[in-house]
């Protein structure tokens, strides 16, 4: 029971991402699951402002103190112009006032400072566009620069996912003193997935008993190429490993990067060593990951890898590129390689021992999530 003189914290969560961005969708759903690890008297009241495109996800949310409200659609450009003219943040101020919010998150549109007393908490996943501008169109770079500069100017708080991202902010921006930065280490909560017969599941997806797994969208910075080149190197030595790829991918005609991957596959006849599974049900993905030999995370850039968090929650070994953020996330529990060093990766794959699923690699999951819940609550607390 909450003491009579203590009011439950009331926060608004903005659930209005593009429907193709599973990273953002998973992030918000996972935050709500994380709050469930708090004692009831600590649990905040949540109002989830959802876009119509994401309404299908709310039926599975299980949280005792939550209300659902459809987010009013705003044409973004017009919303910025009218906010500037009215000197009022039309994206959030009315929501804060009508629902008496103590805080609202993750705010991505901050054209002006809020006129309310609520915590306006922005979130930015990473600064990939600053580190690898060549991966983005000029219009995307301009859009991100404008949006981010206004966040840094007008939000009261900023959340980032890792110390590596925080260091990038210091590298690329002069941060105003009154802006409070928080590093929140996202922890995947996957304990509610349904158990399935792994033999039947492997049969469904035509996978061998032993396989490695990659679960990334097919963007250039995800660096699938190094894995394919490692398979080519192993094949030259008569060694064959199987890789299962999940994740959304565009058509090769629309993606020069995907066309390049297909060429490597075709030129080296790797078809029998890879399974391109595309988007599969989350439950199937977690089951396949649960039984794989290891998860591969070869990215050139990450803010905080959901895939690595998924693997940690399931006690699955991870082989990752030696990015600062991957090392921050895995510490001494990961196996690392240079992002372009396919020869070392090939050796790692060849020598990787059969997995012992009874072995715990990481800190117990419940301990990690409870710690994350306390950390998350502190960001919103008055």
What pLDDT does 46 receive? 98
Average pLDDT over the chain, rounded to an integer: 93
Q: Out of 2-6, 90-94, 208-212, 267-271, pick the least confident.
A: 2-6
**Over residues 229-234, mean pLDDT:** 98
- pLDDT tier at 218, thresholds 50, 70, 90: confident
What pLDDT does 259 receive? 86
Tell me which CATH code domain 10-187+368-380 carries. 3.40.50.2000
**Over residues 215-227, mean pLDDT:** 92
- pLDDT tier at 251, thresholds 50, 70, 90: low
Q: What is the pLDDT of residues 30-54, one digit of tens each?
A: 999 999 999 999 999 999 999 999 9
In DSSP terms, 295 is beta-bridged to 213, 318
Q: What is the pTM of this model?
A: 0.86
Percent of the chain with pLDDT over 90: 82
pLDDT score of 237 more than 70: yes
Say how far residue 197 (Cα) sits from the centre of its chain: 28
Report whether 245 contacts 264 (CB < 8 A): no
Provide DSSP, 33-100: HHHTTS-GGGPPEEEEEE-GGGGGGGGG---TTEEEEEPPP--HHHHHHHHHHHTS-TTTHHHHHHHT
Q: Residue 321 contacts by C-beta under 8 Å, 6 or more apart in sequence?
A: 223, 226, 297, 298, 299, 300, 336, 337, 338, 339
The ranges assigned to domains in the chain are: 10-187+368-380, 198-365
Could you check whether 10-187+368-380 and 198-365 share the same CATH topology?
yes
> Is the peptide bond between 357 and the residue preceding it cis, with omega within 30 degrees of 0?
no
What pLDDT does 291 receive? 95
194 versus 128: which is more confidently predicted?
A: 128
pLDDT score of 71 more than 70: yes
pLDDT score of 59 more than 60: yes
- pLDDT tier at 6, thresholds 50, 70, 90: low
Tell me which CATH code domain 198-365 carries. 3.40.50.2000
pLDDT score of 252 more than 60: no
Report whether 302 contacts 354 (CB < 8 A): no
- pLDDT tier at 4, thresholds 50, 70, 90: very low
**Over residues 96-101, mean pLDDT:** 97
pLDDT score of 2 more than 70: no
């Amino acid at each position: 029971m909450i003491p009579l003189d203590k009011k439950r914290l009331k926060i608004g969560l903005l659930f209005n991402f593009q429907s193709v961005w599973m990273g953002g969708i998973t992030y918000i759903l996972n935050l709500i699951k994380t709050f469930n690890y708090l004692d009831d008297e600590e649990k905040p009241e949540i109002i989830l402002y959802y876009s119509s495109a994401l309404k299908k996800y709310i039926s599975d949310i299980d949280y005792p103190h939550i209300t659902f409200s459809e987010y009013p659609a705003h044409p973004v450009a017009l919303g910025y112009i009218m906010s500037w003219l009215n000197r009022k943040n039309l994206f959030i101020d009315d929501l804060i006032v009508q629902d008496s919010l103590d805080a609202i998150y993750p705010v991505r549109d901050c054209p002006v400072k809020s006129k309310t007393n609520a915590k306006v908490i922005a979130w930015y996943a990473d600064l990939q566009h600053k580190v690898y501008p060549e991966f983005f169109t000029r219009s995307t770079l301009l859009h991100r620069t404008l949006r981010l500069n206004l966040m840094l100017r007008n939000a009261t708080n900023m959340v980032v996912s890792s110390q590596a991202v925080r260091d990038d902010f210091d590298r690329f921006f002069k941060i105003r003193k009154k802006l409070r930065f928080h590093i929140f280490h996202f922890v995947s909560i996957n304990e509610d997935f349904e158990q399935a017969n792994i033999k039947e599941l492997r049969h469904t997806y035509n996978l061998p008993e032993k396989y490695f797994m990659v679960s990334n969208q097919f963007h250039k910075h995800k660096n699938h190429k190094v894995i394919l080149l490692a398979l080519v190197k192993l094949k030259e030595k008569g060694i064959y490993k199987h890789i299962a790829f999940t994740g959304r991918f565009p058509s090769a005609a629309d993606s020069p990067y995907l066309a390049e991957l297909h060429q490597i596959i075709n030129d080296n006849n790797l078809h029998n060593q890879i399974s391109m599974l595309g988007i599969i049900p989350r439950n199937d993905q977690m089951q396949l990951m649960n039984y794989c030999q290891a998860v591969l995370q070869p990215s050139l850039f990450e803010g905080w890898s959901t895939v690595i968090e998924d693997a940690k929650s399931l006690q699955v070994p991870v082989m990752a590129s030696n990015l600062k953020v991957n090392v921050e996330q895995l510490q001494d529990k990961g196996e690392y390689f240079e992002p372009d060093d396919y020869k070392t990766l090939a050796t790692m794959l060849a020598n990787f021992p059969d997995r012992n699923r009874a072995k715990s690699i990481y800190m117990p999951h419940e301990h990690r999530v409870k710690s994350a819940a306390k950390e998350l609550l502190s960001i919103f607390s008055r």
